Structure 1
Amino acid sequence: MSLQLEWSNEQDQYEISETLIGQLRLLLEAAGQTENVTDGEVALTFVDDEEIHRLNKEFRHIDRPTDVLSFAMRESAGEEPEIVYEIEADEAAEPALEEMLGDIIISVPRAIAQSEDYGHSVERELGFLFVHGFLHLLGYDHQTPEDEAEMMAKQEAALQKIGLTR
């Protein structure tokens, strides 16, 4: 097994190209290697501001849009992954270890605006938000200046690895 990225596009303001998805898959692998996470699945959804606002209000009780939300499937690193049984017509049921790490939701309009504010490409901003969300799935947070500095360094290292620079 390996790290898998499943994605969907629920917005129409920016074309999500196969090239971008390829970059995000490379970014997932790079960040996963750094964090010693080699297996699992991440579900990524691109949305508009209205949808991320709705989700932010519903799940975080914050009544405004945001740039990225992460929903981890496990509360702690010690939880066991779910075992899924796949049945083939000619084979007995074999357990397959499938770990869903969680969901990442990115507001594309926010990413576009932030890329303009920071003076870099939309692809780089989407990559930044994606790796930021991935680190949240693994339990990282940025509540203190030290935690924020650690997350920023990890994000920048992963982006540098695949060439998504400013």
Structure 2
Amino acid sequence: MDLAIIDQTHDGVSRYHHDLVESVLNFAGEALKLPVNTEMSVTFVNNDEIQRYNRDYRGVDKPTDVISFAIEEGEDDFNIISDDAWTEDIAKNIGDIIVSVDIIGAQAEYLGHSYERELGFLVVHGFLHLNGYDHMLGDAEEKEMFDLQREILDNYGLKR
């Protein structure tokens, strides 16, 4: 997977956490059998910045932990180029994930697991949204998404 990780925080995200995000998302991509030329980005921000995104794009004027912006949403999307043999070599950008580093530690402490588990949880959660999973559609969809999320994290080694 071609993954761009952007750090817009004041303090900076450690190399260890940068590498963890890259590794867990590549693992998740393999679990979903995504093409290796899949592209996406993860941007780390502080609470003020994620609150701006949350307000501007979701109409909720408060910070949140993670926001996903999928490039393609729903079945109404169409390919401009229809020759699958030709397009399989073209990278597919699935979207962007925005993560608040200010919230990761507090949520990890509240939930009783490591910072790394919470970081992995948030990026996998956002990643699944980019791939069409949505826990807000109903109980069955929520169970499907959360079960897959747990399976990916557990198999990766980031258990609760």
Task: Work out whether the TM-score is over 0.5.
Answer: yes
Deviations 1:115-166 (A, max 9, x none): 0101111111111000000000011111222221211111111111221122
Superposed displacement of residue 22, structure 1: 2.4
**Structure 1 match to 2:140:** 146
State the TM-score, normalizing by the size of structure 1.
Answer: 0.82
Superposed displacement of residue 77, structure 1: 6.1
Q: Which sections of structure 1, spanning at least 5 residues, go unmatched?
A: 84-95
Deviations 1:3-41 (A, max 9, x none): 12111111135x523332222222222222222212311
SS at match of 1:160: helix
**Structure 1 match to 2:124:** 131
How does 1:70-149 map onto structure 2 within 5 Å? 70-76=68-74, 79=77, 97-143=90-136, 144-149=138-143
Provide the identity percentage: 41
Bigger CA radius of gyration:
1
Q: CA RMSD in A?
A: 2.2
Superposed displacement of residue 82, structure 1: 8.4
**Structure 1 match to 2:14:** 17
Deviations 1:22-63 (A, max 9, x none): 222222222222222123111100011110000000011111
**Structure 1 match to 2:44:** 46
Query: Aligned pair in 2 of structure 1 residues 23, 78: CA closer, same or farther (>3 Å)?
Result: farther
SS at match of 2:5: strand
**Alpha-carbon contact 1:72-1:103 (below 8 Å) kept:** yes
**Structure 1 match to 2:151:** 157
Alpha-carbon distance between aligned partners in 1 of 2:150 and 2:31, rounded to the nearest angstrom: 12
Superposed displacement of residue 71, structure 1: 0.3
Query: Aligned pair in 2 of structure 1 residues 124, 75: CA closer, same or farther (>3 Å)?
Result: same
- Per residue, is there more helix in 1 or in 2? 2
State the TM-score, normalizing by the size of structure 2.
Answer: 0.85
